[in-house]
Amino acid sequence: MVTKFKELGLSENTLLALKKKGFEEPTQIQAKVIPLLLDSELDIIAQAQTGTGKTAAFGLPLIERLKERSKAVQAIILVPTRELALQVAEEINSLKGNKQLEIVAIYGGQSMDQQLRRLRKGIDIVVGTPGRVKDHLQRKTLKLGDVSYAILDEADEMLNMGFIEDIEDILSYTAKTKRVLLFSATIPDRIVVLAKKYMREYQVVRTEKGQLTVSATDQIYFEVNHSDKLEALCRIIDSEPSFYGLVFCRTKVNVDIVSKKLVDRGYDADGLHGDISQNQRERILDKFKRQRTNVLIATDVAARGIDIINLSHVINYSLPQNPESYVHRIGRTGRAGKEGTAVTFVTPDEYRRLIFIKRITKTDIRKEKIPEVADVINSKITRIKNDITAIIKSSKSDDYIGFADSLLAEHQPRQVLAAFVKYTFGEELDARNYGKIRDVSVDKKGTTRLFVARGKDDKMDPRSLIDLIKQAVKIDAYKIRDVHIFDKFSFITVPFEEAEAILRAFKKNKFDRKPLVERAKEKKKYRR
């Protein structure tokens, strides 16, 4: 098995970009796919789980083989969600080094005018969701007639979401001489049919299935408004006896803002991102490794290569874009046999993505309450008492006995001790240093529409449908809303978390070889 990127036939430019990101050894999928893409003209079906480095597996060969400053789109990468579109585009951008390639992510919900301006400038690699890519093709604002590569990332997920017709339409706009690459966690029959229809000679690549999580890490999340994140972070830091953690932000700007505000509040903190020079980066990391600073705020890219085994916490100040990023982040704690803590801040509009991360990583990320101010103060008091007790036991305070005797001769012991605490710790124990955090509940901020393969023909009515769901899942009836019964199927609306529980419960319950309950798909046409 290949153990180094330099053994894969990559250029010095690419190897340097990988080194800057802290990547040293290729993953299984990278070691198998990269040589095939570089040294052959085969189409590829690659089966690998999320979080195994699939983006670099196809991104690095694209960077190596595509022409610089081309006037036409050279590669189209289709992904199921806008979050993944952004992640893939950012990852390839971070790997291209000095190669002059233009990469753009296009997806629904983003300004069409903004996308048009980018496309007019000339793009080499387009990363997009099927719906928005199809919109541009129909408007003739995107041309794929000259693409050399068509890549379907998370192919099975796109098929499950009902994008098969859109994908086939998009592929019809591409050149027949292109290479087609399918990356998928599973290879169902629909993938094979798609491959036979649109691929030429292809090879199937499989990797060993691994668990996409970190077992030695206690994973929790806090529901918080965006404006209250800094206050929540301060409470978490102050609640811990010896906080030593890495705080992840999504952008360089956020890293600068959060690190500056923490320093202004008196914390030993530093920030790390891509605009920081190598010398400065080394100084910051040296201080952090020696625990002269105990809080390091960083972007995902800047944190690559940081290998510190005794972190107490990893905090997702910004929710990661996908499960792969989540696993990379929290994998930095819980090392060397120690249990670390991974904390994730979730705002009301991010709950859907948290549920997706939980589902893909197959892990329990439990909800906790942000520490109250009184609890933080009590935690500090306990820490101070323990420190003072340790000093007393060590006899290191003997040089100050005379000073203590003079104070005790003039005042009552309790008054002396209280005055000492106020003098030394008064500001630290002042509850007014903490701001108010508003209550927020993200659980009720979003719902999911589910399709049930039972209808009036099956003698189903709203009451019996709700009973069917409740027999499989412990759920309050009032949470099942907007029940619509048709002849052959039905729809219900439930909160995100309950939807996940229902889907798990009915996963093995098939009807006509299809799931009895599944997510409703906007693109799917149901026969009444």
Q: For the residues 66-93, what does the mean pLDDT come to? A: 87
Query: What is the pLDDT, as a whole number, of residue 264?
Result: 92
Query: What is the pLDDT, as a whole number, of residue 343?
Result: 95
- CA 48 to mean position of chain CA atoms: 18
pTM for this one? 0.53
For 139, 245, 309, 335, the CA distances from 269, given in Å and listed in that order, are: 50, 10, 19, 22
Query: What is the pLDDT, as a whole number, of residue 338?
Result: 61
- 265-287: burial string, b at 16+ Cβ within 10 Å, e else: eebebbbbbeebeeeebeebbee
Comparing 26-40, 86-100, 439-453, the range with the smallest average pLDDT is 439-453
What's the CATH code, domain 446-519? 3.30.70.330
Query: What is the pLDDT, as a whole number, of residue 524?
Result: 47
Tell me the pairing of strands 217-223 and 340-346: parallel
Comparing 127-136, 202-211, 276-285, the range with the smallest average pLDDT is 202-211
* Most confident option among 158-172, 226-240, 387-401: 226-240
Query: What is the pLDDT, as a whole number, of residue 509?
Result: 61
Query: What is the pLDDT, as a whole number, of residue 514?
Result: 64
Tokens of 61: 């060969």
> 286-328 pLDDT, tens per residue?
899 889 999 999 987 677 656 676 789 999 999 887 777 788 7
Q: Is the pLDDT of residue 249 over 60?
A: yes
> 252-271 pLDDT, tens per residue?
899 999 999 999 999 999 99
Query: What is the pLDDT, as a whole number, of residue 148?
Result: 95
Q: Which fold has domain 217-370?
A: Rossmann fold (3.40.50)
Give the integer Cα–Cα distance in Å for 240 and 524. 50
DSSP lists the bridge partners of residue 128 as 78, 106
Give the integer Cα–Cα distance in Å for 223 and 232. 10
The larger pLDDT score, comparing residue 33 to residue 22, is at 33
Q: Is the pLDDT of residue 523 over 50?
A: no
Answer positive or negative: Cα dihedral of 355, 356, 360, 361: negative
Comparing 8-12, 163-167, 345-349, 510-514, the range with the smallest average pLDDT is 510-514
Task: Give phi and psi for 15, each to the nearest 5.
Answer: -60, -35
Give the integer Cα–Cα distance in Å for 143 and 136. 8
Q: Strands across the sheet with 217-223, in order? A: 269-272, 295-298, 245-248, 313-316, 340-346, 217-223, 366-367
Residue spans of the domains in the chain: they are: 5-206, 217-370, 374-433, 446-519
Q: For the residues 168-174, what does the mean pLDDT come to? A: 94
The larger pLDDT score, comparing residue 407 to residue 196, is at 407
CATH of 5-206, one of 3.20.10.10, 3.40.50.20, 3.40.50.300, 1.20.140.10: 3.40.50.300
pLDDT band for position 71 (50/70/90)? confident
Q: Is the pLDDT of residue 336 over 80?
A: no
Q: For the residues 166-193, what does the mean pLDDT come to? A: 88
Fold agreement (217-370, 446-519) = no
